[in-house]
């Protein structure tokens, strides 16, 4: 009996990826797939996130209202001795495969946070980042770039296909339409670059 390759993941509510490619503090790492020796993917996973045998990281599945997180397993120093954020850059590829192409889901986010569990975080419109009670609290210490495929009016989203920069809240400090890229259309390559000296953040996306 021949076995067929698993279907691409159906990603509804949350994709959470923490993949810093290089830091100003000379820390660098690259993932070429996520399968590790002995089944260890060298990631901190929680929720329903899982790594397939072929090295694909799947953060959510067809189950509604659940979330998945995947964090780099070791703390990284992102502040210098003066408490200023250092420069960093990352590049990653994400595929969103909604059950119904026109409806999408609630997207995914690149996140820097002090606790990989993100305690109390909720799925759906909260993107696995916050809860209703915690959203907007300065004590969250969470920086996120959301790639959102649903327009949530409660957070002032500009449309249902946008990129937003979030500091401790899902009300984005800055946001921009992802057009002409459709975040639900296939493999999305993302580049995130932060220049610590200039305090300038650039986010670029490209559909493969």
Q: What is the mean pLDDT of each run of 10 residues along the chain (208 residues)?
A: 39 38 62 70 88 88 86 87 88 84 78 91 92 94 94 94 96 96 91 94 94
pTM of the model: 0.84
Token pair for residue 66? 């659940």
If you classify domain 15-207 with CATH, what class do you get?
mainly beta
Collapsing DSSP to helix, strand or coil, 126 comes out as helix
CA distance 5 to 173: 41
β-pair partners for 90: 192
CA distance 2 to 6: 13
**Predicted local confidence at residue 39, as pLDDT:** 55
Collapsing DSSP to helix, strand or coil, 139 comes out as helix
Domain parsing of the chain, residue ranges = 15-207
- First-to-last C-alpha distance (Å) of the chain: 34
CA distance 135 to 137: 6
Dihedral through CA 112, CA 160, CA 11, CA 99, nearest 10?
180
């Amino acid at each position: 009996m021949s076995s067929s390759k698993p279907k691409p993941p159906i990603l509804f509510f949350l994709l959470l990826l923490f993949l810093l490619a290089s830091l100003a503090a000379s820390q660098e790492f690259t993932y070429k797939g996520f399968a590790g020796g002995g089944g260890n993917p060298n990631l901190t996973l929680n929720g329903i996130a899982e790594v397939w045998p072929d090295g694909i990281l799947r953060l959510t599945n067809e189950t509604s209202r659940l979330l998945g997180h995947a964090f780099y397993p070791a703390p990284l120093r992102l502040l210098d001795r003066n408490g200023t954020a250092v420069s960093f850059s990352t590049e990653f590829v994400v595929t969103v495969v909604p059950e119904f192409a026109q409806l999408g889901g609630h997207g995914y986010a690149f996140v820097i946070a002090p606790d990989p569990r993100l305690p109390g975080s909720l799925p759906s419109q909260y993107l696995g980042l916050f809860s209703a009670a915690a959203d907007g609290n300065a004590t969250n210490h969470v920086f996120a770039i959301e790639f959102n495929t649903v327009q949530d009016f409660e957070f002032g989203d500009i449309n249902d296909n946008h990129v937003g920069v979030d500091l401790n809240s899902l009300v984005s400090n800055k946001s921009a339409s992802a057009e002409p890229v459709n975040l639900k259309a296939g493999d999305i390559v993302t580049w995130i670059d932060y220049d610590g000296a200039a305090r300038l953040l650039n986010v670029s996306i490209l559909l493969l």
